[in-house]
Each structure stands twice: as structure tokens, then as C-alpha cells.
Amino acid sequence: MSTKWVYFFGNGRTEGQEGNKNLAGGKGANLAEMVALGIPVPPGFTITTEACTAFYANNEQWAEGLDEQVMENLAKLEEAMGAKFGDPENPLLVSVRSGARVSMPGMMDTVLNLGLNDVTVEGLAKKTGNPRFAWDSYRRFIHMYGDVVMGVDHALFEAAIAKKRETEGVAQDNELSVEALKELVKEYKAIVKESAGVLFPDDPIEQLRGAINAVFRSWNGARAIRYRQINGIPHDWGTAVNVQCMVFGNMGETSGTGVAFTRDPSTGENVFYGEFLMNAQGEDVVAGIRTPQPISQLEQTMPEAYAELVRIYKLLEDHFKDMQDIEFTIQEGKLFLLQTRTGKRTATAAVRIAVEMVKEGLIDKKTAVMRVEPEQLDQLLHPMIDPKAKYTVLAKGLPASPGAAAGRIVFTAEEAEQWKERGEQVILVRNETSPEDIGGMHVAEGILTARGGMTSHAAVVARGMGKCCVAGCAAAMIDEEKKTLTFGKKELTEGEWITLNGSTGEVIEGQVPMVEAQVSGDLGTLLSWADEFRALGIRTNADTPHDAETALEFGAEGIGLCRTEHMFFEGDRISAVRQMIVAEDQEGRAAALAKLLPYQKGDFIGIFRAMQGKPVTVRLLDPPLHEFVPQDAETIRKLAGEMGISVESLKARIESLEELNPMLGHRGVRLGVTYPEIPAMQARAIFEAAAELTKEGVEVFPEVMIPLVGTVQELNMMRDICVEIAESVMKEYGVEFKYLIGTMIEIPRACVVADEIAKTAEFFSFGTNDLTQMTFGFSRDDAGTFLPHYIEKGILEKDPFQSLDQVGVGSLVKMGVEKGRAVRPTLKVGVCGEHGGDPASIDFFHRVGLNYVSCSPYRVPIARLAAAQANIRNPR
């Protein structure tokens, strides 16, 4: 017996292909599934994916038996519809669509109305009583078929119809007369003959064979191959072909068409939601010439069809157990479902639907947790531009920190603070930000930078603050002296209103209205379910008690990264920091450090108190010292005065701190090796804070993290300093508290020698930002010049600073975890880079066995959900 290549569906009958996506493709399996459920679907047949692979195996020839089976099924179709291919009175018209196992952009679009020719077009005109529609369909069919099946340049048809509009003196295609359309059909056929070198096929059978071949071939089109490469889809899957009868919603007042959702896709409310048009085709809805009516009105217009539709949508939701997006056509009173698929929805709706479906007993909690895209939650946690607002986009930058904000333009951090003090809302606009701008960033509603990428200073700090930021907006020309911000010819000056959309990267003219984020109770419910399923701990990156409290509210279980450098900029202390840095000897440094100690201690008291005994990972000073020194003449003069040294020698000292590649320079633990008094001061501040709170009865759990370690010897030096101070502080205060000493793993070498390092380190925290920089050799500050090309040309699938490069950087992370745990099985391992808040990366971190991820406070809910999904996919 020869292979079965073709499966019929229709009139309640299928041949077992329902649900078999590997064989029938996604679309074919779904259509059959509806038929099997007894839902009226225009009948048709599916040519299997196996027929496609056989086509390629067979030197692009149809497999034996395929043609016969197509003809048999065509006959069944004619019988089912009481219509015939090529019949002048009642012609059978079909659509032909590709349909792979998974939806795949880049493959052949639909060919509609196949079966039309000079004879059958008249039949269609008669049947629909609408000659204009018939000839327009025929014109479209030649265009579509000529383009996708016969390879005729799209533009040739466009040019012909444009010319026709001109000679006819009309503006829109739908104003063309029947006569004009008839002429156009002739012209289109001439174009096909001229361009393809053959006549347009009149024979419907020939049309059908050509269309099936075109679908087969579209599997190996350049775009489809590219898509498969990027998405890891095997090239040998092949595509199915769906041939289905056309039905018409424009056959009079008892015909119509519509689209609907089984629940409200905006709010998630459990109501039937959609719209329809009587005596119309789907295209009419899209063209917007007539206004569709709400679906509820169909009840009045066609009560029976409506009742049937309600029965069907409930059946579909019940069957697929998810909100469905359906398309239907009513042809002369008879309802046909054309498509059902999982409906797209807003974040709010996704959460509500998932939670309510659990309450309705439709799905279980695990399914609900899997239903919501973690990344979507971001929308719920920030203010948004009012969806109803109209606005003008000036330029687009990188969506560096989500949410939206409006404010008046200022160009320096100082001005931001001054304007804010007198009650103004401001947007800070800079070429790029530096740690000196922290104060201004803090008071601004949002930040716009012309340079820098998704992990530039501005982006990282803004995300940490939960503040809207558009970064790397190359079109923005900033003149700080003239205080102007120019986009092309549009010049804005200081004080003018501007609005940023940090979720899309849009920079918008003027002040656009906002809607506040709504965190409904459903989100809390869903996240509490997520917590039941996840294995990863979720911590936050927080440098202040305020951030810590925000993160706690979002569900953080500890601080995974408390940077101490931001603390150095606050208030008066920057002056002491600078004295420490430019000191000429250890004594001078020690004196300045002594001034800093009480400040740092105060910082830690605030944070430890906020965290109520949850672990707090404090990273010792990391950035190169030149980030702290002043660059402007005025501040240098002042500092020289304070220090009692000459301006020249201060300038020389500041210059000596400059580095060619600061990222790979004198920073992190290297500062501690050369100036051990700095980590000593920080350790004292940490442990004195811990001791004081312990004395008060507040529980504390500091974890001291040494950054940028590449050799165990560095870590040993720092560990010795910290342990000695911890022991002596405990004695001084007469208390005991637990603490850990660990390290950041962010240097490639640290991954390679993680077994050595784990002999000393009590925990690892992967600093995947720097690890990505060094593993790729990409400076995130400079990568803006080439990284976009890399994404665009498909060299990299994603920005590795946003989503972990699992193959490269991830291999080093895995190596680090394995080597570390081999030596110290109880090693606590986390991640505190930006990737800690990225769902795909969280999935990876779960799989390689990390204990926790740490992310900015506003991403904590996302991380909780992503961690739960990771553990549901790959249970530990």
C-alpha cells in the first residue's frame, strides 16, 4: 500500500490527523481538531509534511501517489460542497496555505480564490450578486499567484493598478469600476506572460499543482532558512499544505464575517469580545471603510448564528483550556469557523485570565504559572503612556529602562537637582552619564542619553532606580553649552517638555498623558503560586534602604548585590573620598578613610535594618578611582585647597589615575591589593554596623563580596583582612553574628580556576556583566558602534548583555559552578549581573544549579515567575 500523503477534513469527518502537528503542521492539525469537535469548518484537505520532505528527497518531484491522492480529495471536496473546479455556474474555489509544525514567518502566504479564471469569475459574480467583488477577487488572485507562485515582481502589478487609478481618476482601489477591473485582469495576465515567459494558467488543476509546489519550495526560501537557523528549527521538518474551500461573507444580508476573543484581551475579563460586519469579507474590516459592530449585536442581527457562535467559543476554550482568538464567516446563514488560535493579550489580561481559569477549575496552578510571559510583567510595574493618547515621536533610542515619564529638559545633574527643588518635573538629557550624575538621575523623572548601550551607566543605574530611561539615542544631538537638544531640524531648548517611553525607546515631543501602573491582586496571587514552584532564590540588587524596601515588597529574599561606590557620592563624603584617592601616602589615605568610616557604617545599618536578617551581599569598592575624582577646574582648585597641596600636583595625581582601558585596569580587588586600608575600612563599617544592630536585637547576615578576583591569592589577602576585623569587632562589641566571605566570579580566569578559589570563597556570585565583557572582549560602553550590526546581520541572535550568551559565557559559568562545587559541595552560588532579571538567562541559571539570582527591585516579580517556569520545565 502506498503512503498516505493527504488527509481530508470537513463535515465532521477527519482522518486522524487532529493534534498531529508533526504530520499535518500546526494549521492542519488545528483545523482537523475543530472538525473533530463538531465545529463547522469549510472542508478541505492537508498534504502532509512528509510529502514535502519526500519532494526534496525526490529531486523536487512529487512522491508517487501524491497526485492521485490530491485528485481524490479534490473530488471529495467537490462532493462536500456541491461545487466543481472550473464549473461556470457554481465553481469550487479554494485557498492554499503553508503550515509547518511551528508558525514560521518567511514561508508562503495564503493564495485565496484559487480556481478563478475567465469563466468561473462569472459564476462567482452571479453567486455573490457582486460582479465588482468577483472581478476584484480575480485581479487579486492573479497578482497573488503571479507573485508567490510564478515569481513575478510584485511591483509590476502595483504599477499597473496605480496607473489604472490615475486613468480612471480615482484615489482608492475599491473605487475602480468593474470595467476597469476587467481591463486590469488582462493587463495583469500580460505582465505575467511578459515576466514569467508563460501564460497565466487558466486550468484550476494546474493552478492547484503550481500552488502546492510553491508551498513546498517556500520551505527552502532564503528567509525561511534564515529563520530556522536563528530559531534552531531542523531543516528536515518540511511544511504541510492546506487546501480549503473558500466561503464568502459577502453573499447578501444573511452573510457576514467577524473576529472575536473568548475573553477580553485587554482586561482579561471573562466576556465574549469581538466585532463583525454583515455582507462583508475579512478585508473590509481591515480596510476600515465600514465600521464593524460589537459582537454582542450579532445576537439581535442573527440570533441563531450567534447562539451557535457562543456554543462554539465556549467549546473551544473548554477544549484548548486557554483564551482563543477566532475568525468566522457566515455564508447565507451558515456559520463557519475559519481559524482558532491562542489569543494574544495584555499583561493585565494574561495575569487575570490565568488566575481566573484556575478559580474556574479549567487549569491548574502550574499551568497558570506557565501561561504568563515573565517579561510581560514589566508592563505592570511601571507607568505607561495612555494608550488613547496621540503623540509625535521625535526619535528612537534603546528601551533601556521601562516605563514612561514626562518632564522639562535639563542638561546637567546639578540643574536637575535645582529645578526639582523648585518643584519642576525634569528629564535629564546627557551624552552619557557618569557616577557624578547620580544625584541628578535620582531626582529626574527619566533619563535620555545619546550614547551607551543597554548596560551603559545610565541604563544600569536607571533600571536599579526603577526609573524610565532611553539610552543610546544616536539621533539626539546635544549641545550642553547652548543647552539645546536637536533631532534633525527639530531643536528643543532647556525647559521644554519631552516625554520618554523607556519600554519602547521612543522620545516624544511635549507632555503626553500617563496611566499609572496597576498591580492587581491577581498578580500577587500568581506570584505566590510561582513561589510554590520555583527552586531558585530571588534576591535584589539594592544600594539603599529605600531600594531594599521596594524590593522586599516585590518579594526579594535578600540582597545579592549592594554596591558601595554609589554611597561614595552622597553629600559631603565625596570630598573625603577624593582626599583618600589623591593622598600621597598611606597616612593621608588612612586619615581620609577614617572620615568615611562613620558614613559607610550608617549606610550598612540602614540596609541591614531594612533587610531584617535576610542575607545582604556587600561588594567592596569596585570602580577605578578616577571615576571619583573631579575633572572641572573649579572643583580641582577647591579640593587642592582642602588638601593643602598645589593645583598642579593635584592635577598630576588625577592625570596619573587615567587609564587607557579602565575596564581592565586598576579596580576591584586590585585596589584592595595595592591599598589594603580601603577594604579594611569597608570591612570595619560592615561589621561594626552588624555588631551594633546585633546588640539592639536586630538580626543581620552580611556577606562580604570581593570583586574582580582572578586568583585565589587575591581573595586570600582580602579574606585575611576581613576575618581579622570581623573577629576583633565581635570582641569589641561582645556579640556574635554570622557572616560569609565570598567573591564575584566575573573574570574568565576565575571560572577556569574556580576550584582553587572555592577553597577560600564561601560563596560565588557570577558578575555576568563583566564576565560577558571579557569573554567576548566587548566593552559595553563602546559596543554601540558594532553590536547593532551584529544583531542585524545575525552574527549574534541577542544582545549578550541583555540575555546571557549560554553557549560561550554560559559554558564558563557552568565550569565555574562545577569546579567550585567539586571542592566545596555546599558552595552558595548566585548571579548578580543584569542577566539575573532576564527570563531566558534565569532558565539557564536554574539548569546549571545556581542557588539564587539577583536583579533590580523592579524585576524581582519577573524573576520569581521565570524561576518558577524554569523549575516546571526542568524540575530539580
Distance CA 876, CA 861 (A): 21
| Residue 785 in contact with a second copy, rule: CB under 8 A | yes
Contacts 24+ apart (CB under 8 A), 313-319: 313/260, 313/262, 313/272, 314/262, 315/37, 315/39, 316/34, 316/37, 316/39, 316/262, 316/340, 317/262, 317/263, 317/362, 318/362, 319/33, 319/37
Q: Which is nearer to a second copy, 375 or 797 (CB)?
A: 797
Q: Which is nearer to a second copy, 738 or 789 (CB)?
A: 789
Q: Which is nearer to a second copy, 457 or 859 (CB)?
A: 457
Q: How far is the CB of 764 from a second copy (least distance, A)?
A: 16
**Interactions with a second copy, residue window 695-714 (CB under 8 A):** 708, 710-711, 713-714
Cβ neighbours of residue 52 under 8 Å, at least 6 residues apart? 215, 216, 219, 238, 239, 240, 241
Distance CA 645, CA 638 (A): 10
Give the H or E element holding residue 369. Answer: helix 365-371
Cβ neighbours of residue 421 under 8 Å, at least 6 residues apart? none
* 795, 822, 873, 874: residue in contact with a second copy (rule CB under 8 A): 795
Q: Which residue has the cell 541628578?
A: 440
Q: How far is the CB of 585 from a second copy (least distance, A)?
A: 15
User: Which triple of cell numbers denotes residue 368?
Assistant: 497558570
* Active-site residue (options: 143, 382, 442, 457): 457
Compute the C-alpha angle 119/122/127, nearest 5°.
Answer: 130
**832 noted as active-site residue:** yes
| Residue 783 in contact with a second copy, rule: CB under 8 A | yes
| Residue 831 in contact with a second copy, rule: CB under 8 A | no
Q: Which is nearer to a second copy, 385 or 629 (CB)?
A: 629
Distance CA 134, CA 120 (A): 9
User: Which triple of cell numbers denotes residue 141?
Assistant: 488572485
Q: How far is the CB of 712 from a second copy (least distance, A)?
A: 9
| Residue 102 in contact with a second copy, rule: CB under 8 A | no
Q: Which is nearer to a second copy, 596 or 625 (CB)?
A: 625
* 673, 698, 723, 730: residue in contact with a second copy (rule CB under 8 A): 673
Q: How far is the CB of 830 from a second copy (least distance, A)?
A: 20
| Residue 171 in contact with a second copy, rule: CB under 8 A | no
Q: Which is nearer to a second copy, 613 or 662 (CB)?
A: 662
**855 noted as active-site residue:** no
Q: Among candidates 428, 403, 420, 424, which has minimal Cα distance to 516?
A: 403
- Give the interface size with a second copy as a residue count (CB under 8 A): 49
User: In this structure, which amino acid lies at residue 84?
Assistant: K
**Interactions with a second copy, residue window 606-665 (CB under 8 A):** 659-665
| Residue 759 in contact with a second copy, rule: CB under 8 A | no
* 370, 717, 723, 823: residue in contact with a second copy (rule CB under 8 A): 717
Q: Which is nearer to a second copy, 391 or 790 (CB)?
A: 790
* 670, 798, 821, 847: residue in contact with a second copy (rule CB under 8 A): 670
Q: How many residues does the chain have?
A: 876
Q: Which is nearer to a second copy, 294 or 808 (CB)?
A: 808
Q: Among candidates 847, 824, 851, which has minimal Cα distance to 760?
A: 824
Per DSSP, the residues of 802-843 read TS--TTTHHHHHHHHHHHHHHH-TT-EEEE-SGGGG-HHHHH
Q: Among candidates 403, 430, 399, 392, which has minimal Cα distance to 414?
A: 430
Distance CA 717, CA 50 (A): 65
Q: Binding string, 761-780, against a second copy, x = CB under 8 A? A: ---------x--xxxxxxx-
* Active-site residue (options: 52, 245, 751, 832): 832
| Residue 803 in contact with a second copy, rule: CB under 8 A | no
H helices within 534-585, ranges in order? 545-553, 573-582
| Residue 674 in contact with a second copy, rule: CB under 8 A | yes
| Residue 747 in contact with a second copy, rule: CB under 8 A | yes
- Taking CB under 8 A as the binding criterion, the range among 60-68, 236-244, 409-417, 751-759 that sits at the site for a second copy is 751-759
| Residue 666 in contact with a second copy, rule: CB under 8 A | yes
Positions of E strands within 612-768 = 616-619, 702-706, 740-745, 763-766
Indicate which residues carry an active-site annotation. 457, 832
Give me the residues that bind a second copy (CB under 8 A), please: 659-666, 670, 673-674, 708, 710-711, 713-714, 717, 746-749, 752-753, 756, 770, 773-779, 781-783, 785-786, 789-790, 793-796, 805, 807-809, 811-812
